[in-house]
Amino acid sequence: MINFHILTLFPDLFEGFLKESILARAQKQGLVKINVCNLRDWGVGKHHQVDDSPYGGGTGMVLMMEPVDLAVKEITKDWIPKKNRKILLTPQGKIYNQKKAGDLAKYEDILLICGRYEGFDERIRGLVDEELSIGNYILNGGEVAAMAVVESVFRLVPRVLTKEEATRIETFHDGLLEYPQYTRPEDYYGKMVPSVLLSGNHAKIEKWRNEQAIKKTIEKRPDLLDGRED
């Protein structure tokens, strides 16, 4: 069981995402809970203000400390110490990867704060345990990054994937790329399915898949083999 809390100025962005197949199923089964929080609910004054112009001048608006601080305090008020993680999504964060997903899957509560590209008050960084980036490119905000974290973490929570879904992944060596897969037709205008897959010889198929996964990883992502992507 894992609870995600997403703090965002754009809660509607998550609507379709939360209805997606395996994530919808996991929520129905009570294995994952997702609490999308609208930062504007903690906005200041009668206009629920959440951003303001930067000290020192310059263009654009800066996300204010107060709404984020109040939101974090309220969302985390009943949390059990040590079983939770507060994360800010920002291009300044540590690059996210599969190992990090595995670490996060062990927590009970995860707060994902979606930053805005125009900027946020530097003091907001002091409210979180860590900052994460999903890659070396700039998004308009942390929402898509938060979805990437939710999707990669929840599928690692025990019982979220069916036995069949999990076995297919686990029988394969950790850290290798997937072996090539094919489905009907056997011959697509001369592009053939490898004959070993039609042989019915399971030991031979297993061996071929192993070899192909290693070959593919060496060719396409050699960095995965020596842990360089960390």
Q: Give least dist CB 196 to ligand ADE, A.
A: 41
The residue among 75 and 89 lying less far from ligand ADE, judged by its C-beta, is 89
Please say whether the beta carbons of 109 and 52 come within 8 A: no
Shortest distance in whole angstroms from residue 113 CB to ligand ADE: 10
**CB closer to ligand ADE, 60 vs 135:** 135
**Shortest distance in whole angstroms from residue 88 CB to ligand ADE:** 8
Q: Strand pairing partners for 191?
A: 188
175 binds ligand ADE per the rule CB under 6 A: no
Rounded to the nearest 5 percent, the helix, strand and coil shares of the chain are 40, 20, 40
Q: What is the DSSP letter of 44?
A: B
Radius of gyration of the chain measured on its C-alpha atoms? 22
* The binder of ligand ADE chosen from 134, 153, 156, 176 (CB under 6 A): 134
Stretch that binds ligand ADE, among 37-45, 47-55, 128-136, 189-197 (CB under 6 A): 128-136
**169-176, long-range: CB < 8 A, 24+ apart:** 172/209, 172/213, 173/210, 173/213, 175/98, 175/217, 175/224, 175/225, 176/213, 176/214, 176/216, 176/217, 176/224
First to last CA, the chain: 27
Number of residues that bind ligand ADE (CB under 6 A): 14
Binding pattern for the stretch 138-167 against ligand ADE, x by CB under 6 A and - elsewhere: xx-xx--x----------------------
Strand partners, 85: 110
CA distance 114 to 6: 7
Which 57-96 residues touch ligand ADE, going by CB under 6 A? 89-91
Binding mask 95-124 for ligand ADE (x = CB under 6 A): --------------------x-x-------
Q: Which residues here bind ligand ADE, judged by CB under 6 A? A: 89-91, 115, 117, 133-135, 137-139, 141-142, 145
